[in-house]
Amino acid sequence: MIKKREIDDKKQWFLYPANLRTKTLVIIALSALIIVSIFVCGYFIRDIPTSFISANQMPSFEHIFGTDWMGRDMFQRTVAGLGLSIMVGFIASVISTIISIVLGLFSSFNKFADECVAGIIDLFGSIPHILLIILVSIMFGGGVIGVVMGVGLTHWTPLARVLRSEVKEIRTKEYIHLAENLGRSKVWIATKHILPLIVSQIIVGVILMFPHAIMHEAAITFLGFGLPPHEPAIGVILSESMHYLSSGYWWLAFYPGMSLLIVVLLFDFIGENVEKLLNPETAQE
Amino acid sequence: MNKNQLLKFFGYKLVRFIILILVVAIFSFILIDLSPIDPVNAYLRQAAVSEAQRQILENYFGTNVPLTTKIFHWLMDLIHLDLGTSLIYRAPVIDIIIDKASASIVLMAISWILSGVIGFAMGVVAGKNKGSWIDKAVKVYCYAIQSAPSFWVGMLILMVFAVYLGWFPIGFGVPIGVKSTDATFMEWASRLVLPALTLSLVGLAPIAMYTRNELIQVLSSDYVLFAKSRGEKGWDLVKNHGIRNILLPAVTLQFLSFSELFGGAVLVEQVFSYPGVGQTAVAAGLNSDVPLFLGIVIFSAIFVFVGNLLADLSYYLIDPRIKESEFND
């Protein structure tokens, strides 16, 4: 059923006429710009001045997120924390991606390898995610390494599952059999014939992995397993603000959590829009 | 459904269950064994002891025993349901887990049911009125709540309802200074409201989104078009053709969410200081209480397995099409 879509390219979109593709690209670029600027700002915020005169202030124009018990500006702390979270999320995503690519390609070798990969995925799925992260971070002795490895070694399952089913389908193709008959090695087939076909899945998977990694990093730090208390991480800020909840210092918890939510949403936006562009079914709309 | 098939089904599941628990037990044990936690130090908590006493303790905890022997002993004890003694509570792990899990399961059951019912209703309303402001509101809510850390949502609820409005106590399972066995039902229930509310608000997003998308798909199908042309409309149409189709996958999805439910409970219990198994797991992890932590990991694996089993069963028992055909597993 092929129907010609009504094209409303002529319609004004903000300043100039644009089609869906341009709009999508603009959304991606804007979101990416915000995230990169948060990351860069967070990197440069090192010493946040303390002043006990202006401790525990309500949000005002001078301190738009208020100040904490040491008089530190909460906006600066939040940005620094977000920068840290993005970095941890980035490293963890890289680790997870490598694992899922390796496992996905490994599952193409033979039926036994495929069953092995399925078993490992099942095992990681059978323990609640947060307990698994705690377990792995305990294994690495906690701290920064613990949280990075904990988040990194446990987020590969959704992507690995997608890749495995994708690989399964590709393996039934004619040219794979042909390559096998020509005596190519399994590794050669996996890297030359299968990997190029799953690249777009990997890209989308990585971007959608990011927000989960960031949220879990914050959660694990909030529980006290992750980053040490002197780091300006979002989880640390939030668990600190728990002590001031009953005093009514709502801004200590509200704004940092809200900023985390916005960053996570931005990553989701980017992921969905990139998927729209890469998926051949929706790319032409 | 004949008896033979049922037996085969449960036999298969039982075998899977045993293998899974074995693998989880070994896997988590190896992870903990690789960690830098020293059982003797964790037991002593910086208490000063003589070298000879330390030697006795090292022998007791088996620090120099090879890993394979340790795993073997661990599995043997596991078969006898002996999970060891907790280091922070100084009581058998199994008793602590049973005690804490009952509190947790009440919390999780309430929020599981609430999130399922409310989420499904929201999804149906949003899907029926696709494109309206209700649909947009539900969508925005679901996106926002899925991106929000659940402990932060808990903190906001705590701030609004407990600190500002003062309707509910701030935390803990029972009032301070009252034994958990002496607390009245109201005291106990009033402390359950906020954690359950948080877990339900967080948990209803996936089910609402799923129901909405499925309902929209069903409503755009040909047979709904035919039903419309026969004159069915409004709520009756949704009830007769939509809900019947989407209820089953929604129920299954809800059963499959046991893992996230447990994860959410860990965080929410921590925020509300609710004395459940999640808070105990965090305390055990922070204080290097290895036996208790491993016990909770195994308990959670059983919990998730039960959820998946119920999801399979719900498919098999509810859907007449699957009941007729043989299952392939």
At B268-325, the pLDDT tens digits run 888 888 888 888 888 888 888 888 888 899 899 999 999 988 888 877 776 666 555 5
pLDDT (mean) for A179-202: 85
Residue B238 is predicted with a pLDDT of 80
Rounded to two decimals, what is the model's pTM?
0.84
Q: A10 to chain B, minimum CA–CA distance in Å? A: 23
Given this model, what pLDDT does residue A274 score? Answer: 85
Whether B259 sits inside 8 A of A223 (CB atoms) is no
A130 contacts on B by Cβ (under 8 Å): 262-263, 266-267
Assess whether pLDDT exceeds 50 at residue A232.
Answer: yes
DSSP string, B182-242: T--HHHHHHHHHHHHHHHHHHHHHHHHHHHHHHHHHHHTSHHHHHHHHTT--HHHHIIIII
Q: Please, are residues A176 and A109 in contact by the beta-carbon 8 Å criterion?
A: no
Where do we find the tokens 């129920």?
B251
d(CA A52, CA A61): 19
Q: What is the pLDDT of residue A16?
A: 61
A-chain residue closest to B279, CA distance: A223
What is the pLDDT confidence band of residue A1, given thresholds at 50, 70 and 90? very low
List the single residue in A129, A140, A264 with the smallest CB-CB distance to B259: A129
Residues of A in contact with B20 (CB under 8 A): 122-123, 126
Q: Return the bridge partners of A61, or none.
A: none
- Residues of chain B in contact with residue A211, where contact means CB-CB under 8 angstroms, are 147
Structure tokens at B55: 């030697």
| pLDDT computed for residue B322 by the predictor | 58
For residues B110 and B56, give the distance between their C-alpha atoms in angstroms, rounded to a whole number.
48
Q: pLDDT tens digit string along A29-39?
A: 888 888 888 88
Which pLDDT belongs to residue B175?
A: 58
Which stretches of A45-173 are DSSP H helices?
A: 74-106, 111-126, 129-139, 143-152, 157-171
Contact indicator for B44, B53 with CB cutoff of 8 Å: no
pLDDT score recorded for residue B118:
92
Lookup: tokens for A44: 């440069």
Judged against a pLDDT cut of 50, whether residue A2 lies above it is answered with no
Indicate the pLDDT class of residue A18, thresholds 50, 70 and 90.
low
Please report the pLDDT score of residue B115 as a whole number.
Answer: 92
Question: Whole-angstrom Cα distance, residue A225 to residue A143?
Answer: 7
C-beta of residue B85 within 8 angstroms of C-beta of residue B61: no
pLDDT of A249 strictly over 50:
yes
Q: What are phi and psi of A13, to 5 degrees?
A: -130, 105
**Cβ contacts (< 8 Å) between A218 and chain B: which residues?**
149
Of residues A216, A197, A199, the one with CA closest to residue A274: A199
Question: Half-sphere exposure of residue A116, counting CA atoms within 13 Å on the CB side?
Answer: 12
> Which residues are paired to A17 by β-bridges?
A12
What DSSP character marks residue A142?
A: S
Contact A176, A189 (CB under 8 A): yes
B163/A138 Cβ within 8 A? no
Mean pLDDT of all residues in A87-97: 89
User: What pLDDT shows up at residue B257?
Assistant: 87
Q: Which residues of A touch B154 (CB under 8 A)?
A: none
- Of B20, B144, B300, nearest to A261 by CB-CB distance is B144
Question: A223-235: buried (b, 16+ CB within 10 Å) or exposed (e) per residue?
Answer: bbbbbeeebbbbb
Q: What pLDDT is attached to residue B182?
A: 61
Of B143, B163, B300, which has the smallest distance from its Cβ to A128's Cβ?
B300
Tell me, what's the pLDDT at A45? 75
Joined together, the tokens standing for residue B40 give: 């003797």
CB under 8 Å to B52, separation ≥6 — which residues? none
Query: B304 exposed, middle or buried (CB, 10 Å; 0-12, 13-18, 19+)?
Result: buried
Mean pLDDT by 10 residues, chain B (329 residues): 76 88 87 77 71 74 74 79 77 84 88 92 88 88 86 86 75 59 68 86 90 86 84 79 82 86 88 85 85 88 90 74 52
Is it the case that residue A107 has pLDDT exceeding 60?
yes
CA–CA dist A159, A136 (Å, integer):
19
CB pair distance less than 8 Å for A257 and B149: yes
DSSP symbol at B165: S
Q: Do B164 and A253 touch (CB under 8 A)?
A: no
Subunit contact A135:B297, Cβ cutoff 8 A? yes
How close B90 gets to chain A, by Cα (Å)?
21
Closest A-chain CA to B24? A123
- CA–CA separation, A48 and A284 (whole Å): 49
Calpha distance B209→B316 (Å, rounded): 24
Residue B163 or A95, more confident: A95
Sign of CA dihedral B245, B248, B250, B253: negative
Test A248 with B24 for CB contact under 8 angstroms.
no
- Using a 10 angstrom Cβ sphere, with 0-12 exposed, 13-18 middle and 19 or more buried, the burial of residue B174 is middle
As a dihedral over the C-alpha atoms of residue A81, residue A84, residue A89, residue A95, rounded to 10 degrees, the angle is -160
- A261 pLDDT above the threshold of 70: yes
Interface contact flag, B147 A264, Cβ < 8 Å: yes
Nearest to B143 among A122, A253, A265 (CB): A265
As given in the structure block, the two tokens for residue B45 are: 């908590």
Using the structure block, give the residue that is written with the tokens 């899922």. Answer: A100
Give me Rg for the CA atoms of chain B.
Answer: 24
Can you say whether the dihedral through the CA atoms of B321, B325, B326, B328 is positive or negative? Answer: negative
Mutation target for B interface from A1, A133, A138, A250: give the one with most B CBs within 10 A. Answer: A138
The mean pLDDT value for A145-161 works out to 88
Partner-chain residue, chosen from B31, B143, B263, that has the shortest CB–CB distance to A128 = B263
A220 chain-B contacts, CB cut-off 8 A: none
Q: How far apart are CA B289 and CA B291, in angstroms?
A: 6
CB atoms within 10 A of CB B101: 19
* Residues of A engaging B, defined by a Cβ cutoff of 8 Å: 122-123, 125-131, 134-136, 138-141, 211, 215, 218-219, 222-225, 238, 241-242, 245-246, 248, 250, 253-254, 257, 260-261, 264-265, 268
Q: Using DSSP, state whether A207 is helix, strand or coil.
A: helix
The stretches of chain B forming alpha helices (DSSP H) are: 3-34, 39-44, 51-61, 67-79, 93-128, 133-147, 150-157, 185-219, 222-229, 234-237, 244-256, 258-272, 277-286, 290-318, 320-324
Rounded Cα distance, B56 and B62, in Å? 10
- What is the predicted pLDDT for the residue at B1? 54
CB contact under 8 A, A125 and B259: yes
DSSP tag of A155: S
Nearest to B241 by CA among B223, B253, B257: B223
According to the model, what pLDDT value does residue B119 have?
A: 92
CA distance A193 to A93: 24
From A247's Cα to the closest Cα of chain B, the distance in A is 8
**B62 to each of A260, A280, B38, B39, how far by Cα in Å?**
45, 59, 11, 9
Contact A100, A160 (CB under 8 A): yes
The backbone torsions φ and ψ at residue A64, rounded to the nearest 5 degrees and listed phi first, read -70, -20
Residue pLDDT, tens place only, A51-83 = 666 666 677 766 677 777 676 777 888 888 888
Q: Give dist(CA B285, CA B283) in Å, integer.
A: 5
